Amino acid sequence: MIEEKISLGIDPKSANETESRQIELVMNLLKNRGGLSFKKICKIMPHFYGNEKLQSDEKKLQRDIEELKELGFSIKYYKSYLENPSNIGNVYKIESNNTEIQFSQEELKFLSDLIFEKSQLQNSEVLFSISQKIFSGDLTHFPKMKKDSMVEEVNLNDEKEANKIKFNKIIQAIQNKVPLKIHYNKLVDKKIEVREIEPLEIVKKGLVDFYIIAYDRERKGFRKFIFQKIEKLTSLTGSFFHSRKPTNAEKNFHPLGFHVHESIELNIYIEPDYIWRFKDFLSDYPYKEEKSKFYFSTTNLQALCGFFYSHSEIPVKTDSDKFIFEFKNYISEIKKNYNNSEKFL
């Protein structure tokens, strides 16, 4: 029998080690559409990436990726912390022509938790629509929001209507000089206080904040009340006991003047190079200055602590033990909150 040799026009030969490694790498990336980290690749392909020196294998993988990209494979990498939250690394994947956004199970659960948390704070109608689009392909992690999204809308409208009625009552009390009894939610300890006041002015500060300047019958002095913190109010019989108008100092809306505690006298020395910044903070707040030393009183040390924490580069001296103690507590509270937040990351 005569054997006829057919010429194929090619000279087939065995793939070398580099080619074999790259072919296997492509197959594994195609098999794992979600992508593979360097550690995962080493685990799947220990016969190719099993060097004791990880840096050597990382360089080898990088070369392989670059050569495969030159051959037309759309291999991309991105930062990820999913495999090891304490160490962000690269995840390699072959991009498909499908432009649809793809999420991992971890990412879907993370989005679901965020949407659920947000839905508890505001109208969930838009969030529900967003959720339908994100989780349409995988309902496993669909956030368990309220079935009737309009319930929150009704509550929101009720709150707006209640604020409108409350606002009009205060205006009428100012015009007719009618005293009010208010249930006031304090800023610091959220304790509800019942106060009898003689409202004098409504002042808008910023975009949404309203303050009521009123004479406090119990404390016998002018106070500023945040409108949003007045939970309930009723009109009292009779007229105003007090006729004097508040001074400009009493109408000052600087946070140092917020009544959080009893008034404390302070003297603080500021380095001359930073005096302009401290004066900018004090703004219209009453103070005296003598040779880089500032004298003033405050009923809200927290505001001062916040300023010096935000501008820690400013050298400052003071002989006020109360302020030093309060500032240490302020820093300690920040550290405590930071450590607690790390537990959830």
pLDDT of residue 82: 46
d(CA 168, CA 171): 5
What stretches of the chain adopt beta strand conformation (E)? 36-37, 75-80, 89-94, 180-185, 192-205, 209-216, 221-226, 230-235, 264-270, 288-290, 293-298, 316-318
136 pLDDT exceeds 60?
no
pLDDT in tens, 278-308: 988 887 788 999 988 999 999 888 889 888 8
- Mean pLDDT calculated for residue range 226-243: 82
> With left for phi above 0 and alpha for psi between -120 and 50, is residue 123 left, alpha or beta?
beta
pLDDT in tens, 99-128: 455 666 676 667 666 766 665 555 555 666
Closest CA to 255 of 207, 294, 307: 307
Q: In 101-145, which ranges are continuous DSSP H helix?
A: 105-119, 125-134
pLDDT of residue 155: 47
242 pLDDT exceeds 80?
no
**In which band, very low, low, confident or very high, does the pLDDT at 341 lie, cut at 50, 70 and 90?**
low
Tokens of 177: 């000089």
pLDDT of residue 80: 58
pLDDT in tens, 153-177: 444 456 677 778 888 888 888 888 8
Tokens of 74: 């759309």
Highest-pLDDT range among 91-105, 115-129, 203-217, 325-339 = 325-339
pLDDT of residue 204: 72
Name, in order, each residue with C-beta under 8 angstroms of 245's C-beta and a sequence gap of 6 or more: 200
d(CA 64, CA 310): 48
108 against 321, higher pLDDT: 321
Q: Each residue of 253-279: b (16+ CB within 10 Å) or e?
A: bebbbbbbeeebebebebeeeeeeebe
pLDDT of residue 53: 83
d(CA 88, CA 239): 68
214 against 119, higher pLDDT: 214
Backbone torsions φ then ψ of 306, nearest 5 degrees: -65, -40
DSSP state of 97: S
Question: Of 81-85, 234-238, 255-259, where does mean pLDDT reach its minimum?
Answer: 81-85
| Relative orientation angle of helices 105-119 and 125-134, to the nearest 10 degrees | 170
* pTM tops 0.85, yes or no: no
Beta bridge partners of 221: 216
pLDDT of residue 102: 63
* First-last CA distance in the chain: 76
98 against 289, higher pLDDT: 289
> What residue ranges define each of the domains in the chain, with the CATH number in brackets?
17-94 (1.10.10), 105-147 (no CATH), 170-248 (2.30.30), 264-342 (no CATH)
Total Cβ atoms within 10 A of residue 36: 23
Highest-pLDDT range among 140-149, 249-258, 283-292 = 283-292
Q: Which long-range contacts (CB under 8 A, 24 or more apart) does 40-46 make?
A: 40/83, 41/92, 45/21
